[in-house]
């Protein structure tokens, strides 16, 4: 596929030169120059300026489906070629959350490097899911009820159960009203009303790492994944004997079916599976320390 097509698709998707540049990891002037050169070559206009950026002309709308199809075909070819790679060398991109990276995967990289010194692991850390079809990542470690993309091969490592936690300092202080901390994606949003009727929500978080840190610092009581708390040595957090709704979340290791024969992907996923499986009982909540 002509490289110009990716600039056209990116500008259509983002609507701005800066957005397309960020998506493609180039300068915004590069995006403008490549699209202008394409339009000049075929004597057409694909985009027109509007107050909020760029939108497709009628000509652009007519050819966009074909361009998108070409882009998808290129991805298919790249995945299949990558999947035939039998060398234990090169780069493997792993998408994962900050909490998994910091506490579970990064500490194991020394061991992985000793086994496979010629494989470079690129950690793509964030809460947004990477598109494995588009080769945004080769492997994804994803907390999800179930995989949402077709053609993905997945192994469920373990369920991720949750509990209600607070620090020893917080629990040692008597108070008339409990301070509650909430996660933005909490699936049982009213849990604190059921079990802590005399309470007040004082903060809400869209990332689990800072929520755990705030709880450790005594800011309040929070419902947290057991694995992020119970696996930590010398933690000052204790679990409360409060029943909560069973979690719908599990940790999955996912990759595209086209990559199942790629040696470096196989080596990486097998290592991750074996390494992370040892934390199963922590994530199930069987190693929780309860406040007495």
Q: Residues 168, 225: one domain? A: yes
- Mean pLDDT confidence for 149-161: 82
- Mean pLDDT confidence for 172-189: 89
Give residue-wise pLDDT tens across range 243-257.
888 888 899 999 877
Q: Is 218 left (phi over 0), alpha (psi -120 to 50) or beta?
A: left
- Whole-number average pLDDT of the chain: 87
Domain boundary among 85, 109, 135: 85
- Mean pLDDT confidence for 48-60: 88
Q: Would 228 be classed as within a structural domain?
A: yes
Q: Would 50 be classed as within a structural domain?
A: yes
Higher pLDDT, 263 or 111: 111
Contact 223, 163 (CB under 8 A): yes
Q: Residues 28, 171: one domain? A: no
Domain boundary among 37, 57, 85: 85
1 pLDDT higher than 60: no
Give residue-wise pLDDT tens across range 189-224.
788 888 888 899 999 999 899 999 999 999 999 999
- Mean pLDDT confidence for 15-20: 90
**Per-residue confidence (pLDDT) for residue 79, from 0 to 100:** 57
Exposed / middle / buried, residue 87 (Cβ in 10 Å: 0-12, 13-18, 19+): exposed
- Mean pLDDT confidence for 1-29: 83
260 pLDDT higher than 90: no
Question: Which of the four pLDDT bands, split at 50, 70 and 90, describes residue 81?
Answer: low
Q: Residues 197, 69: one domain? A: no
**Per-residue confidence (pLDDT) for residue 183, from 0 to 100:** 92
Q: Residues 9, 127: one domain? A: no
Structure tokens belonging to residue 230: 């119970």
Structure tokens belonging to residue 37: 């050169």
Domain boundary among 25, 52, 85: 85
Q: What is the CATH number of the domain that holds 64?
A: 1.10.10.10
List the domain range (segments joined by +) for residue 166.
162-239
Q: What is the CATH number of the domain that holds 223?
A: 3.40.190.10
Contact 160, 131 (CB under 8 A): no
């Amino acid at each position: 596929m002509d490289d110009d097509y990716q600039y056209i698709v990116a500008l259509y998707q983002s609507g701005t030169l800066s957005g397309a540049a960020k998506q493609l990891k180039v300068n915004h002037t590069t995006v403008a120059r490549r699209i202008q050169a394409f339009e000049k070559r075929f004597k057409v206009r694909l985009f027109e300026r509007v107050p909020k950026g760029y939108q497709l002309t009628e000509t652009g709308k007519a050819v966009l489906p074909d361009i998108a199809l070409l882009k998808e075909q290129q991805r298919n070819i790249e995945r299949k070629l990558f999947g035939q790679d039998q060398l234990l060398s090169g780069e493997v991109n792993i998408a994962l959350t900050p909490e998994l990276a910091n506490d579970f995967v990064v500490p194991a990289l020394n061991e992985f490097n000793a086994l496979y010194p010629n494989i470079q692991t690129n950690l793509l850390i964030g809460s947004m899911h990477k598109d494995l079809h588009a080769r945004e990542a080769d492997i994804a470690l994803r907390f999800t009820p179930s995989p949402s993309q077709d053609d993905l091969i997945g192994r469920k490592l373990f369920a991720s159960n949750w509990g209600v936690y607070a620090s020893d300092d917080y629990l040692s202080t008597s108070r008339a009203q409990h301070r509650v901390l909430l996660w933005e994606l909490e699936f049982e949003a009213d849990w604190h009303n059921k079990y802590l009727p005399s309470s007040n929500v004082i903060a809400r978080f869209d990332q689990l790492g800072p929520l755990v840190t705030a709880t450790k610092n005594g800011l309040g009581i929070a419902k947290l994944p057991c694995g992020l708390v119970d696996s930590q040595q010398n933690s000052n957090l204790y679990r409360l004997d409060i029943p909560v709704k069973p979690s719908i979340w599990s940790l999955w290791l996912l990759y595209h079916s086209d990559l199942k024969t790629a040696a470096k992907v196989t080596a990486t996923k097998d290592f991750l599976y074996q390494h992370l499986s040892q934390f199963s009982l922590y994530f199930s909540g069987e190693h929780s320390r309860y406040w007495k």
